[in-house]
Amino acid sequence: SGHKLFLIARSKERLEKIAKKCRNNGTNVNIIILDITDSHESNKVIKSILKNNYIDIIIACAGVSAGTLEGPESIHQVRKIFSTNTDGVINTIIPVIPQMIKRSAGNIVVISSMAGLLGLSSAPAYSASKGAVRIFADALRSYLSKFNVHVTTVIPGYIKTPMTEVNNFPMPLMITAKKAANKIILAIEQNKS
């Protein structure tokens, strides 16, 4: 309540649904339709937000997966996954870093995955892309700490979402999105790594 929120994604319908929930809780919501794999457009949009706002927290949660259930991953599939999961995260946070350094304040949250710790044979590109953003966030944390800018890397296991609904393999210790969100919020508030 009382905060200004910028929601950025490709799907207007899904953004509107989330924006409505946020507005019902007293949040000032702005939705922006953007393909964050487009570095030029992402930079332009985020810099336009920064003209009249400063960002306290940015959550880079781009993520798609496809897996190898239908056979080996094609080069097109691998590039699409890396473009979203790695480039999308980088395109989201890099434009914000100079302002956070200048203000000596801010939180950057990067969503990785357990698959980014130990590659899954069922999702090689997904695993590698999430490993890349995890290591990128770890390195950023060390660098930005001297500027009082905090970086939290979220490494979720299985969360009940549309992305996991399509999986037809065991997903141990699955939790709800609400439970995951509460854990993430607490970690960000406590500036956990």
Catalytic residues: 126
Helices 75-82 and 124-144 pack at an angle, to 10 degrees, of: 30
Read off the amino acid at residue 160. K
Non-local (6+) Cβ contacts of 39 within 8 A are 87, 90, 91
> Which structure tokens are listed for 125?
């590109």
Contact 42, 72 (CB under 8 A): no
Contact 191, 145 (CB under 8 A): no
Which residues are registered as beta bridge partners of 8?
32
Contact 111, 63 (CB under 8 A): yes
Q: How far apart are the first and last CA of the chain?
A: 26
Which of helix, strand or coil describes residue 191?
Answer: coil
